[in-house]
């Protein structure tokens, strides 16, 4: 967010768009409150959203549209082809827009692959490791495992040379098995990975965060996984480590930005056109103080009206207070920028708060691994070499 004429100028960088709340599976850690709802977003809602966004002039020159918050592949390929064409017809010159899907992978077909190729879609697949680990928590609505169908979708992407990444939610068992996780990815040609540790969000309360040594367990996992990846060479990108390297070693005069604490930098829109901001997980949650985190609806409100909404003002006041407190007291602030509002609210019951276990996992543990590696390299350089 930059300043213009004394008032903050907004910059929308990411649109998280819910094509449907419905999901075809029933993960034990899912936080989505309306995953039985089969409503599908209308083409009119899509057109209203992007028509108003582009007219506002607030779209960043690099705009990412993430179709998420339900299983996006439950909506037809035909729907997306029409929606993408409508958005493209409205896209102003100078704005580079890319679509992204986060999917469980079970519904990927050759027809979906053609859409991904035609529109250069960024594809993320959720898979929690080898079959036993994955099927323990990612199950069908009838209680069966989902691993085989997810892996079939991944293999179809590979057959068609479609780039993709995977996100794995780590269980207690997985935290003790980084080499097993690495070798599974490598065997399946998965070269880009990201990790989440099960969180408390929405209706879901995780017992993982109560684990006394969870930060140290996760730090060890990342360290061992990264060492294996470096020695093996078959995993090209580990989100937690590679993103932290960029944060730690960025130019000194470049501030680390956190879009989750900037109003409208992340624009979250549900299938009915309701709009929220800050953390995308806030969409669909209930809270009287912040008007259920809703700042407007694309059918009835302009972006200026959303910007001036009482709900946004209240959230921004408290989110900003939390960021200021983090900056004042946390040594990791320079690589974090104030944390995730949803996790502050879930763990501390307030946006205007500081450290969370989520911070310890997503920021502190990766930073410790990167800085520890640097310290080891520096120490090895200081050791005397062999005497000739």
Q: What is the DSSP letter of 349?
A: S
Rounded distance between C-alpha atoms, residue 229 and residue 238, angstroms = 9
pTM of the predicted protein model? 0.91
Write the DSSP assignment of 351-388 as a string of letters. Answer: SS----HHHIIIIIHHHHHHHHHHHHHHHHHHS-----
- Strand, coil or helix: 133: helix
* Residue 108 · residue 77 · CB < 8 Å: no
Measured between alpha carbons, how far is 197 from 218 in angstroms, rounded to an integer? Answer: 8
Asked whether the beta carbons of 238 and 193 are under 8 A apart, the reply is yes
Per-residue pLDDT of the chain (388 residues; tens, 9 = 90+): 444 334 556 899 999 999 999 999 999 988 887 888 999 999 999 999 999 999 999 999 999 999 998 999 999 999 999 999 999 999 999 999 999 999 999 999 999 999 999 999 999 999 999 999 999 999 999 999 999 999 999 999 999 999 999 999 998 899 999 999 999 999 999 999 999 987 645 554 556 666 668 999 999 999 999 999 999 999 999 999 999 999 999 988 887 889 999 999 999 999 999 999 999 999 989 999 999 999 999 999 999 999 999 999 999 999 999 999 999 999 999 999 999 999 999 999 999 999 999 999 999 999 999 999 888 777 765 555 443 3
Distance of alpha carbon 331 from alpha carbon 368, whole angstroms: 12
Confidence at residue 101, expressed as pLDDT on a 0 to 100 scale: 98
Which of 45, 15, 10, 65 has its CA nearest to residue 297? 45
d(CA 207, CA 137): 14
Domains along the sequence of the chain with CATH: 7-248 (3.20.20.70)
Label residues 50-82 b or e (16+ Cβ within 10 Å = b).
Answer: bebbbebebbbeebbbbbbbbbbbbbeeebbee
Residue 64 vs residues 113, 366, 371: alpha-carbon distances, Å:
19, 25, 30
Cβ neighbours of residue 25 under 8 Å, at least 6 residues apart?
71, 104, 106, 138, 139, 140, 141, 146
Phi, psi of 66 (to 5 degrees): -105, 120
For the residues of 25-69, what is the DSSP string, one character each?
Answer: B--TT---TTTT------HHHHHHHHHHHHHHT-EEEEEEEEE-S
- Using the 8-state DSSP alphabet, how is residue 140 labeled? B
Give the number of other Cβ atoms within 10 Å of residue 107's Cβ: 15
Measured at the alpha carbon of residue 199, what is the angle toward residues 73 and 294, in degrees to the nearest 5?
Answer: 65
Please tell me what DSSP assigns to residue 257: P
Tokens of 124: 């993320």
Q: List the 192-197 sheet strands across, edge first.
A: 237-238, 192-197, 164-170, 122-126, 96-103, 59-67, 12-17, 266-269, 274-277, 296-297
């Amino acid at each position: 967010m930059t300043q213009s004429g004394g008032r903050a100028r907004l910059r929308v960088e990411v649109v998280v768009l819910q094509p449907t709340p419905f999901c075809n599976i029933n993960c034990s850690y899912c936080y989505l409150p309306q995953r039985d709802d089969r409503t599908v977003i209308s083409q009119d809602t899509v057109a209203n959203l992007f028509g108003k966004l582009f007219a506002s002039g607030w779209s960043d020159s690099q705009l990412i549209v993430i179709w998420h918050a339900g299983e996006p592949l439950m909506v037809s390929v035909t729907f997306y082809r029409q929606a993408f064409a409508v958005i493209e017809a409205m896209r102003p010159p100078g704005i580079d827009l890319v679509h992204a899907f986060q999917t469980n992978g079970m519904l990927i077909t050759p027809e979906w692959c053609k859409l991904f190729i035609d529109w250069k879609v960024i594809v993320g697949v959720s898979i929690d490791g080898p079959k036993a680990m994955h099927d323990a928590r990612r199950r069908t609505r009838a209680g069966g495992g989902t691993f085989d169908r997810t892996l079939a979708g991944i293999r179809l992407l590979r057959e068609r040379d479609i780039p993709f990444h995977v996100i794995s939610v780590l269980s207690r068992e997985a935290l003790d098995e980084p080499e097993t996780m690495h070798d599974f990815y490598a065997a399946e040609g998965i070269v880009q990975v990201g990790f989440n540790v099960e969180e408390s969000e929405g209706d879901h309360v995780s017992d993982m965060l109560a684990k006394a040594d969870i930060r140290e367990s996760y730090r060890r996992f990342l360290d061992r996984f990264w060492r294996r990846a470096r020695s093996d060479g078959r995993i090209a990108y580990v989100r937690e480590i590679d993103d932290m390297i960029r944060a730690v070693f960025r130019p000194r005069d470049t501030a680390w930005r956190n879009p989750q604490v900037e109003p409208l930098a992340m624009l979250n829109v549900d299938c009915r056109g309701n709009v929220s901001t800050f953390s995308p997980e806030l969409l669909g949650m209930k809270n009287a103080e912040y008007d259920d985190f809703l700042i407007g609806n694309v059918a009835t409100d302009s972006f200026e009206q959303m910007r001036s909404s009482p709900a946004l003002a209240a959230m921004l006041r408290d989110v900003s207070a939390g960021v200021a407190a983090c900056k004042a007291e946390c040594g990791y602030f320079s690589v974090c920028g104030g944390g995730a509002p949803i996790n502050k609210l879930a763990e501390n019951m307030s946006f205007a708060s500081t450290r969370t276990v989520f911070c310890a996992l997503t920021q502190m543990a990766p930073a410790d691994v990167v800085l520890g590696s640097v310290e080891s390299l520096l120490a090895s350089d200081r050791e005397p070499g062999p005497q000739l």
